[in-house]
Chains A and B, each alone.
Chain A
């Protein structure tokens, strides 16, 4: 789900930084409105590290294996901290782990971070129907997981197809976007299920992680 450096025109990279900046500003504002934002900083930070580490786990997806993105889960657990967390995670990846992505940091953060916030809002709806229920928790967990990666895939596909090949005609473009998005459907399903499973684990072991 990462766009590598050099691939997108500067306008898009700059726009990516702009949207990431706006989303960060919005998230920080919401964070500062809470009662004790300082207290949440260690929690959010260690969970950011934990999510980053968790994303290294290989899930067998025939014929090979893949790393999960888990931005839906991140949104459900971290709430408004999800966007800064993703920004930081991407920064670590760009700088420490040979992934590149400094110029496209903003774009990638937008691709993964905005859907994470969406996943948070969706997961929060659980409170309306009753957050003690296992069934609703699992259901909203899977919805959060699906929306997180699903929206990411769409944005990613659109950006990639639209901006890389400059001379492809519109019909081929549209078809390619569809093809790229659809090829990710198995991943979306797996992430959705996986998110639900983790959410149910947390619900049983440490529910306050889901209620923050």
Chain B
């Protein structure tokens, strides 16, 4: 198999897109991705579908895929560093969803999605422990899932209020990407949370990032919270970006020469409320990102 920097040239440029998960677009006041695509096709070049295999795909996600519109598959139920999590039944479910969505790649938070086995009441999302010993198990899981699906698997830096470990988050993910020979999904809002929680500047540690491996970015609004004097940022997916998130996004857009996709995560907000954010992000996209639906093509990058 060619190395990732060769393989990435075959990944399609998806442009600007929007995210969803099971039932999200059916809630009152939530964003309907298909309506966004009709209203502003340049903002909905693809749909990133959050998938829990146990729930499957909802009707709007299936309809999007059935229309032949581009998708990516965002997993919500796999602890990549636990080999036993990739059991036969779960992999069969993943393959069924992949067959329905025909995603450009798999991606998702490379953290702990559930404690114990995959079961009712077990779901959470915690960042990985940022130590050198945690790199190899995570990389092995990424390689295994890539082999099982035949699709690229892009780990994403998860959100959190507690980051444990002595490595900078960006150094940790750089090591994971190298060990798994894979690309990265950089969530700018999640990174801003980490930087703030650990007392760092928004752009601290960007030199760790192997920018030619960054394939996808996420941007989303967050909410500042305070309890007992402890301050953190909640991953709200609102439409108001924190200044730190915006600064990270702009820095990433300027550096990631193999970037293929940017997701604005705002699924719980109505269409009129999200348009200004999409407009703002679209204005910053580099020229090689061609945010026009159906205009994705392998090799259009760099």
The yes or no verdict on A and B being binding partners is: no
Residues of B within 8 A of A (CB): none
Residues of A within 8 A of B (CB): none
